[in-house]
Amino acid sequence: MAGIFISYRRDDQPGFAGRLADALEAAFGADQVFRDIEDIHPGEDFVAAIEQQLHTVDVMLVMIGPGWLAASRNGVRRLDEPDDFVRLEIAAALASGKPVIPVLVDGASMPGAADLPPALAGLARCQAVALSDAGWRSDVAQLVASLRTRLPDKGNTSARIRLACLILAGVALLVLLGVLAAPRLLPERNSTAQSRAPAVDIAGRWAARVKYDWGDAYDEVFEFKYLGRQLHGTATYLGGRLGIEQASLDDGWLRFTTRSRETLGGDSAGKEITHRYTGQVAAQGIRFTLESGGGYSVHPPLEFVAARAGP
């Protein structure tokens, strides 16, 4: 949405209109300035485009040069023609109640109400701004300052966007530096905390009375030890001692597997059974769940508790 609408007559000092548009675009951003010769696309309805822009702008600048008031066509003054575009633009802006600022260029004088058609008589009561060629920079600077009070949220949109992007980039950089620095600041604190926190220690001998699904019960024994950081040990199954494999202890959860063979009839080789143990280490002992599979029989999971035992 353009905030500033520049109304001008193309055969009355169009160079000043282009010069002013460039200065305003530099101050407020190109999207905040509407000038028909550049902002209406080929094939677009001129009247519809002008009316649409007038509904959305915040202020209208009416460029008035020495020939603006008397410009005529076929002996009729242009401002007196009902379909004259400049007349339609100004009349619509005045009727909307939006600010209208006459901009006098190249030594033009402000027309009086009697010099204007009745529909444009209100223009004579609007405070005018004069832009001279010799004092162009200072005159435009004063106009820009005046417009900023009327467009408080649109002053130099591009600059504000760039500033916002720089601020966001700075915040992102600070966050990134903080993330990178955090690991360097935390190890000493973490190591102290870890040294104070008691580690789960299962090294030693554990025993449990396990009743299997077919009704028999056995006193099973589990022995664990550490070789470096690796957990090793044995576990009995139906009283037979088996080596544990894939052992791990993480956050109080103990996991390992053992393997045995099941024979049936004349099958002397038998089938291998994999026993998977999952245990939660607690104050009362290790709460185990045992899942076995791969043999001739299907067995449901078993649950039991192993307690620390003597040597």
Assign residue 145 the CATH number of its domain.
3.40.50.10140
147 and 255, same domain (yes or no): no
Q: How far apart are CA 223 and CA 233, in angstroms?
A: 5
Structure tokens at 175: 């966050």
Closest C-alpha among 284, 242, 238 to residue 259: 242
26 and 125, same domain (yes or no): yes
189 and 85, same domain (yes or no): no
Instruction: Answer with the one of 144, 177, 196 that is the final residue of a domain.
Output: 196
Instruction: Tell me which of 192 and 28 has the higher pLDDT.
Output: 28
151 and 174, same domain (yes or no): no
Closest C-alpha among 152, 251, 234, 151 to residue 200: 251
Helices 14-28 and 136-150: crossing angle in degrees, nearest 10, is 60
Average of per-residue pLDDT values in the chain:
83
Give the model's pLDDT for residue 194. Answer: 42
For 120, counting Cβ atoms within 10 Å of its Cβ (0-12 exposed, 13-18 middle, 19+ buried), the class is buried
Amino acid residing at 58: D
Domain that holds residue 246: 204-308
pLDDT band at 53 (very low <50, low <70, confident <90, very high): confident
High-pLDDT (> 70) share of the chain, %: 78
Q: How many domains does the chain have?
A: 3
What integer is the mean pLDDT of 12-28? 87
Question: Residue 220 maps to which CATH number?
Answer: 2.40.128
High-pLDDT (> 90) share of the chain, %: 49
236 and 277, same domain (yes or no): yes
Reported as a single tens digit per residue, the pLDDT across 154-177 is 444 455 555 555 666 666 666 666
| The length of the chain, given as a count of residues | 311
175 and 251, same domain (yes or no): no
Closest C-alpha among 15, 8, 12, 14 to residue 61: 8
111 and 178, same domain (yes or no): no
139 and 265, same domain (yes or no): no
Reported as a single tens digit per residue, the pLDDT across 87-132 is 988 998 898 888 999 999 999 999 999 999 999 999 999 999 999 9
Q: How far apart are CA 197 and CA 199, in angstroms?
A: 6
53 and 106, same domain (yes or no): yes
Closest C-alpha among 159, 179, 175, 229 to residue 199: 229
Q: What are phi and psi of 194, to 5 degrees?
A: -65, -35
Instruction: Answer with the one of 170, 196, 222 that is the final residue of a domain.
Output: 196
Give the model's pLDDT for residue 191. Answer: 44
221, 207 in Cβ contact below 8 A? yes
Give the model's pLDDT for residue 164. Answer: 57
Q: What 3-state DSSP class applies to 41? A: coil
8 and 115, same domain (yes or no): yes
89 and 125, same domain (yes or no): yes
Give the model's pLDDT for residue 209. Answer: 96
Give the model's pLDDT for residue 218. Answer: 96
15 and 151, same domain (yes or no): yes
Reported as a single tens digit per residue, the pLDDT across 185-206 is 555 444 444 434 346 789 999 9
Q: How far apart are CA 246 and CA 215, in angstroms?
A: 29
